[in-house]
Structure formats: structure tokens, C-alpha cells
């Protein structure tokens, strides 16, 4: 069996077991990698939003055009075989799709890992109101034709990995933008009992990280 066919079978098994939010994330990432027209992305995203059957989700994603073999080869094997969960614990998800989400008015769970996405919408998350786990906490932020604002406490140790494609990631004292760009920054003081790692991706969108 060829390499591309083997990876395609692995992907098929993963898609059949994915939940609703993971299916949405897969479609967003596929669009961000290119090769999917905007109108087709909007159509498939709208269909996924109202689908509850895992078999229907797999059938919707099966409509995606095949990716070139070199793009399949570049995908990490763990991303194809299982849902992303680098912390090994529960993954919390915040999604703003053609809407607005605000996590700043009450306490909320961030640790050990939270995914925040804004697709044609906006999201605001205030880490000062979040419960962190002991050790590393991961906040994965994706702005796709949307805007995400992250507020972190001053002094908290924050590691930022940023990537922009026709978008912008703004961090105090740093900026990544333009056609394509990526960089890493560190904010705050030395590691304490808890610290934060932010993985920020802006594709035709904006991620703003502020310390207050």
C-alpha cells in the first residue's frame, strides 16, 4: 500500500471517531492550509454546525478535495491518529462562529488545556478569571477571519508561539503579521507553580494578547 493511501486510511479512522468540535477544527485547519475555496468552506462549516451524527460528520469531511501527498506527509502522525491533547488531560473548547464569546465575567476552567477559535466572529478570554492547573497550561488560539483577545495577568510566566498568515498576532512589545510570519516570545517572571503556553494562529484574522 502506498504512503498516501496508508495515511488516508489512518485519517478516515480518525474522522469516524471525532466529536463535533474536533470536526470543526479539522475543517478550519484544512482551510487555513489552503486549497479550499472560501464559499466551499462556509458551506461545509454551516453543515457541520447543525450535524450531530459522527457518520454524517465523516461524510461531510469526505467531501473535501484530496490533499497533495506532500501535505499529508507534513502532517504529524499523532494529529492523524488521535485528537490533539498535548497535556493528556481534559481539553476545554471555546468557539465563536459568526458570533461572539466572552469569558471574562466569571470564573472558568482553562487548565490543563483550552482551545479557543473565532471564525468570522470574536472571542475574549480573560486568564485572570481562569482556573489553572499545576504546571503547564496550554491555550491554543485560532483566529480565522475573526478576532481573539487574550488578557493575561501581569507577572504570570507566559510562553507564546505565534503564527500569522495574512493576519496579525500582537503581544506586548512584539508583533507578527503580513503575508506569513512566525515567532516566539516570553512574558512575565520566572516559572511558579503554574505557567501558560499560548499557541496563537491568525489566518486572515487577529489575535491580541494583553497583560494587565
* Average pLDDT per block of 10 residues along the chain, 212 residues long: 42 53 74 73 71 78 69 41 48 91 89 93 93 91 95 89 91 83 80 85 93 86
- Residues whose CB falls within 8 Å of the CB of residue 16, separated by 6 or more in sequence, listed in order: 54, 55, 58
Confidence at residue 82, expressed as pLDDT on a 0 to 100 scale: 33
Assess contact for 58 and 11: CB atoms under 8 A: no
Q: Among residues 87, 88, 93, 89, which one has the least CA distance to residue 108?
A: 93
Sign of the CA dihedral running 37, 40, 46, 52? negative
pTM of the predicted model as reported, rounded to 2 decimal places: 0.64
Confidence at residue 106, expressed as pLDDT on a 0 to 100 scale: 84
Q: Among residues 41, 47, 19, which one has the least CA distance to residue 29?
A: 41
Q: Are strands 174-187 and 158-171 parallel, antiparallel or unpaired?
A: antiparallel
Confidence at residue 159, expressed as pLDDT on a 0 to 100 scale: 93
Measured torsion, CA atoms of residues 68, 117, 57, 49, in degrees rounded to the nearest 10: -130
Confidence at residue 63, expressed as pLDDT on a 0 to 100 scale: 77
Q: How many CB atoms within 10 Å of residue 182?
A: 13
DSSP type of residue 66: P
- Phi, psi for residue 43 in degrees, rounded to 5: -65, -50
Confidence at residue 9, expressed as pLDDT on a 0 to 100 scale: 39
Taking the chain, what is the end-to-end CA distance rounded to the nearest angstrom?
55
Angle at 70 (CA atoms; ends 49, 42), nearest 5 degrees: 20
Angle at 42 (CA atoms; ends 26, 200), nearest 5 degrees: 45
Amino acid at each position: 500500500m502506498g504512503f498516501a493511501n496508508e495515511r488516508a486510511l489512518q485519517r478516515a479512522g480518525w474522522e469516524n471517531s471525532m466529536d463535533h468540535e474536533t470536526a470543526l477544527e479539522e475543517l478550519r485547519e484544512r482551510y487555513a492550509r489552503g486549497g479550499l475555496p472560501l464559499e466551499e468552506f462556509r458551506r461545509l462549516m454551516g453543515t457541520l454546525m447543525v450535524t450531530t451524527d459522527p457518520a454524517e460528520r465523516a461524510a461531510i469531511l469526505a467531501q473535501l478535495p484530496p490533499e497533495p501527498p506532500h501535505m499529508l506527509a507534513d502532517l504529524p502522525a499523532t494529529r492523524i491518529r488521535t485528537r490533539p491533547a498535548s497535556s493528556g488531560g481534559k481539553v476545554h473548547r471555546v468557539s465563536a462562529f459568526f458570533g461572539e464569546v466572552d469569558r471574562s465575567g466569571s470564573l472558568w476552567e482553562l487548565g490543563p488545556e483550552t482551545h479557543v477559535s473565532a471564525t468570522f466572529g470574536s472571542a475574549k478570554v480573560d486568564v485572570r478569571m481562569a482556573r489553572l492547573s499545576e504546571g503547564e497550561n496550554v491555550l491554543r488560539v485560532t483566529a480565522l477571519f475573526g478576532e481573539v483577545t487574550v488578557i493575561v495577568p501581569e507577572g504570570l510566566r507566559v510562553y507564546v508561539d505565534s503564527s500569522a498568515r495574512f493576519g496579525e498576532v500582537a503581544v506586548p512589545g512584539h508583533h507578527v503579521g503580513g503575508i506569513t510570519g512566525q515567532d516566539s516570545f516570553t512574558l512575565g517572571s520566572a516559572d511558579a507553580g503554574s505557567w501558560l503556553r499560548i499557541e496563537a494562529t491568525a489566518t486572515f484574522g487577529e489575535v491580541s494578547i494583553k497583560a494587565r
